[in-house]
Homo-oligomer: A and B are copies of this chain.
Amino acid sequence: MTATDATAERLPLRERKKLRTRQALIDTALRLFTERGFDGTTLDELCDAVEVSKRTFFRTFPSKEDVAMAPTQDLWAAFLEELEGREPAGGTVLALLQASLYAALDRMTDEGWADRVRLSLRLTAATPSMDARGRHFCDRTLRTAVALLHRKLDLQDPRDLRPRLALDLLLAGFQCALETWVAQPGDPGRAALVAEVRTAFAAIPDALTFEATPPSA
């Protein structure tokens, strides 16, 4: 319907159908989960609403949690693609990573993307099992990216922790940005998110030198 249409214009009919039910599942899931809560919605109800069998659901998504986290997962997939496409040429690794993330954000041109991400994040914050799953996914992406960096930078020592730590910083900053963005009133769009990301990234260097002065002093 909304997101994948541009890229799926001329696919075989079968594939288009699959994408349509996939998108319907995502949208309906976000709606139902938001209305009745994640645990308050059974998979059967969701499948009834979309008129799909439970079997089909699990062919499309690996778990109940994943259907509501598709929007953010798209972003991370784009991030990995961007990182893959970039060549290291001067500047810090952290800057390279940040540039990839900005580019990935720029690619999320879909109309409802920001709203879906917002719904998804609110659900994640309210649902432990979704939170857990989300962090697991994040970590898998991080590991893929670490391996990619090691390859791209041609690092001799596989135990060199610097790429890993840089990625952790990127992730931490982005998480912060997402949290403040999703807490904003109204429906701030993608641009507002990018602004938050810039703020968060700007705070990174200070985090190391941040002095622990006692409050009385």
Contacts and interface: CB of A to CB of B under 8 A. Distances in A.
Contact of A203 (B153, B161, B176): B161
A165 B203 contact: yes
A192 to B, nearest CB: 15
A154 interface: yes
Report how many copies the assembly holds. Answer: 2
B161 A93 contact: no
Interface stretch (A4-12, A18-26, A36-44, A209-217): A209-217
Contacts of A93: 210-212
A85 interface: no
Interface residues of A, number: 50
Contacts of A169: 165, 168-169, 172, 207-208
A206 B169 CA distance: 12
Nearest to A159: B180
Given A135-B139, A176-B165, A153 B208 contact: no
A166 B206 CA distance: 9
A103 to B, nearest CB: 15
A94 B207 CA distance: 8
A71 interface: no
Interface of A: 87-96, 128, 131-133, 135-136, 139, 152-154, 159, 161-166, 168-169, 171-173, 175-176, 180, 199-200, 203-215
